Structure formats: C-alpha cells, structure tokens
Amino acid sequence: LVRRLRAFRCPVIAAVNGVAAGAGANIALACDIVIAARSARFLELFSNLGLVPDCGGTWFLPRTIGTARAKALALLAEPLSAERAEEWGLIWRICEDEMLLTEAKAMAARLASKPILGLTLIKQALEASATNDLSDQLDLERDLQREAGKDPGYIERVHAFMAKR
C-alpha cells in the first residue's frame, strides 16, 4: 500500500481524525499532504508491543522530523498531538474536527483543477531530491521543466496568467 501511495501520479491527501496509531500513522505519512483534526493524535506504539515501526515509519519519521524526534517517538510510544505534529512539520495543517472532511474535499478539488502533468512532475522532483546532490537535482529540474513545457495546455495557461485570468 505504501509503495502504491508513493507511486500514485496524483497527489494523495490524508485526513486524520482521531488516533492514527502504528501503521495508520505511517500510512498517513506516506501521503503527499496530511491534514488533521484538532483532536487527532499520532502514536508510534510498536515499542510497546516489541515490534518495529512498519509501513515506512522508520523512513518517513527521521526525514520529516529529524532523527532525535523520530527516535523518541518510536522508542517511547508517546502520543503526539495534532498541534505538535504541525509544529514539527509532520503534517501540513490542522482544522477543526467538524471541518476536516470539508477541508480535505476542498483541497482535493483545488488539486484536481491543476494540470496533472505538472503535479506529477513536482512529485517526481521532490522524491528524487532525497538522494540527488544539487547538481543532479538541477539537471532533473531542467529536464522535467522541458517536459512540462511540452504540455498542450501550457501556452494557454501562461497567456491566462499574464492576462490575470
């Protein structure tokens, strides 16, 4: 599931309501954008069970919040509030509980209105940046920009932008 989420062409939004524990927390982290209800909690409970974080938890956590925080979350199994998750950069945004689904749908509609090729190429570039050095990343950006510029709707979107439409 995590591999499929990461390979999906379109952006994937996770809307976390309640407690995202163990694999649930890590599957949310596999998504491109994570929003959470104010009451949401994230819990890496594996150490309580004598297990190792799965579904990419040991990969996502250190890259997202740093090694020290990742180790403490994984080893201590203490719940992390939505507020702290937002402060640490683990999630994009918090919204009021009753607005979570509305916010997620609005975000999905906003993304759906954008050119899919551009979104796909942005995801590709951001994923590659984890292992590329700056020179390789600049080359990749150049190549992807060329590909994006060949999109049939590109010229019209530039004209619309310039005309402030």
Query: What digits encode the pLDDT tens for the residues 75-88?
Result: 999 999 999 999 99
Given this model, what pLDDT does residue 153 score? 87
* 161 band by pLDDT with thresholds 50, 70 and 90: confident
Share of the chain above pLDDT 90, in %: 90
**Displacement of CA 161 from its chain's centroid (Å):** 27
**pTM of the model as a whole:** 0.89
Query: Which whole-number Å values give the CA distances from 76 to 43, 73, 82, 84, 97, in the listed order?
Result: 10, 6, 18, 16, 27
At residue 161, the 3 state secondary structure works out as helix
* 157 band by pLDDT with thresholds 50, 70 and 90: confident
Mean pLDDT value across the chain: 95
**Residue-range domain boundaries for the chain:** 2-112, 116-162
Q: Average pLDDT for residues 128-151, to the nearest whole number?
A: 95
Distance CA 12, CA 27 (A): 11
Q: Domain 2-112: give its CATH superfamily.
A: 2-enoyl-CoA Hydratase; Chain A, domain 1 (3.90.226.10)
Query: What digits encode the pLDDT tens for the residues 47-64?
Result: 999 999 999 999 999 999
* 154 band by pLDDT with thresholds 50, 70 and 90: confident
Given this model, what pLDDT does residue 110 score? 97
Burial class (CB within 10 angstroms; exposed 0-12, middle 13-18, buried 19+) of 36: buried
